[in-house]
């Protein structure tokens, strides 16, 4: 797959995940894509999700980046991975203490 196609798949996956968070009532703020793709805050402003979107597989680098982020008790860190050739996704949710919440 060409680099252009990979970038397009990443952008498409990110847009779909962002839309799902909006549909669930979150306010979505885009980020710089270095560590997280966007930050989703619920309407009551009590919970926040730092979301990283990847495609095909969750790499060790993705996990290291998310575990290195500092978070408050009302924040969680989420990795959303869109699988190749499918609309299915794998989701990993970590709390502020880096415990896997699934």
50-93: pLDDT as tens digits:
999 999 899 999 999 999 999 999 999 999 998 877 778 899 99
For residue 100, being part of any structural domain is answered with: no
Asked if residue 47 belongs to a domain, the reply is yes
Res. 1 pLDDT band, cuts 50 70 90: low
Q: How far is it, in rounded angstroms, from Cα 94 to Cα 102?
A: 8
42, pLDDT greater than 80? yes
**CATH assignment of the domain containing 28:** 3.40.1350.10
Q: Would residue 79 count as lying in a domain? A: yes
Work out the mean pLDDT of the chain and round it to a whole number.
90
The total of structural domains in the chain comes to 1
Q: Is residue 102 part of a domain?
A: no
> Can you give the residue range of the structural domain that contains 68?
3-94
Q: Is residue 37 part of a domain?
A: yes
- Single out the residue of 15, 61, 14, 12 nearest to residue 35, CA to CA: 61
């Amino acid at each position: 797959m060409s680099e252009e196609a990979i970038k397009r798949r990443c952008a498409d996956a990110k847009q779909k995940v962002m839309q799902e968070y909006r549909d669930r009532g979150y306010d979505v703020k885009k980020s710089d894509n270095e560590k997280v793709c966007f930050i989703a805050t619920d309407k009551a402003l009590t919970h926040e999700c730092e979301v990283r979107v990847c495609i095909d597989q969750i790499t060790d680098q993705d996990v290291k980046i998310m575990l290195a982020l500092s978070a408050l008790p009302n924040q969680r860190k989420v990795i959303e991975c869109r699988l190749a050739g499918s609309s299915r996704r794998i989701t990993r949710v970590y709390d502020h203490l880096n415990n896997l919440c699934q």
